[in-house]
A = this chain, B = another copy of it.
Amino acid sequence: MLPFRVHILGCGSATPTLRHFASSQVVELKGKLFMIDCGEGTQIQLRRSKLCFNNLHHIFITHLHGDHCFGLIGLISSLGLLGRTQPLHVYAPKELGPMLDAQMQLFCQGLEYEVEFHAVDTTKNIIIYEDRSLTVETVPLEHRVPCCGYLFREKPALPHIRREMIDLYHIPVSHINNIKSGQDWITDEGNVIPNSRLTRPADSPRCYAYCSDTKYIPTLHCLLGGVTTLYHESTYADDYRDHADTYCHSTASDAAKVARDAGVKQLIIGHFSKRYQDETVLLKEAQKIFPNTHLADEMAVFDV
């Protein structure tokens, strides 16, 4: 299987700390890079990650709090300085559009590539991007401002060829694609070899969902069907339940409940409040409910 990975660039929350950068991560699928959120310092972290700036064509912003988007104008500006010519697509709540225009007008005169802005309706669960390999859907979340998560759904792959059967029946290379697409094989003697003998089932499609920032939504799992890896914010542990309620954030056990109810394979938690010097308290709380939970950390890479 081609790599489907998540690179964590930043997983802190609003107030800056020396341990975490503001929110940003990069989803990598078949060499293409998709950024989710772009807090201040993201371009520094992107450079640190050694991911190729030129392979980034799409940036998805969840909401217009600074720790999720203040790095965008700096990244756009630097991509220009690095000689970019290919367009960059930015998906975000609509209010960011005019702001981005004004910033680029003031700070990015002479930019030699296009920044194409796509206003996102954060209240709907719809596909907003599609290519040969994947779709990206919005996932409505509940925060203090309009906010949505993003769900990266790999398209179903074709089945695997059984090499030994190809050899046995002397099937020419020119017919491999037909067989992958479901055709049977008819031998010179007229015998029909059913497709199921010639192939093994395709890998199950992988699917990554990013849910931050949000209060706990007990029905969120209904939108997460097929998700294999879930990133869900865990700003607090249950000891700060009141803060979570006040600021529309989740606790680690909230995140774990969503993962459990959605039946995902692994959960990554992040968006840690600065008050947790040691985040294992968050990890342990989540693991009680959903054992295969991992802590996000800058430069960590997760296979989806």
The answer to whether A48 and B18 have CB atoms under 8 Å apart is yes
- Given A70-B73, A74-B70, A102-B102: A16 and B44 interface contact (C-beta under 8 Å): yes
Contact with B along A2-36 (1 / 0, CB 8 A): 00000000000011111001000000000000000
User: A78 at interface (Cβ–Cβ under 8 A)?
Assistant: yes
User: A300 at interface (Cβ–Cβ under 8 A)?
Assistant: no
User: A107 at interface (Cβ–Cβ under 8 A)?
Assistant: yes
- Contact-residue size bin, chain A (C-beta under 8 Å from the other chain): 20 to 34
The B-contacting residues of A in range 60-75, CB under 8 angstroms, are 64-66, 70-71, 73-74
User: A119 at interface (Cβ–Cβ under 8 A)?
Assistant: no
Q: Report the minimal beta-carbon distance from A89 to chain B, rounded to whole angstroms.
A: 21
Chain B residues in 8 Å Cβ range of A41: 40-41, 44
- Given A44-B41, A70-B73, A74-B70: A107 and B15 interface contact (C-beta under 8 Å): no
User: A106 at interface (Cβ–Cβ under 8 A)?
Assistant: yes
Chain B residues in 8 Å Cβ range of A95: 106
Q: Report the minimal beta-carbon distance from A104 to chain B, rounded to whole angstroms.
A: 10
Contact with B along A233-251 (1 / 0, CB 8 A): 0000000000000000000
User: A266 at interface (Cβ–Cβ under 8 A)?
Assistant: no
26 contacts between A and B (CB under 8 A): A14-B78, A14-B81, A15-B78, A15-B82, A16-B43, A16-B47, A17-B47, A18-B44, A18-B47, A40-B40, A40-B41, A40-B44, A40-B71, A41-B41, A64-B106, A64-B107, A66-B73, A66-B74, A66-B77, A70-B73, A70-B74, A70-B107, A95-B106, A99-B102, A99-B106, A102-B102
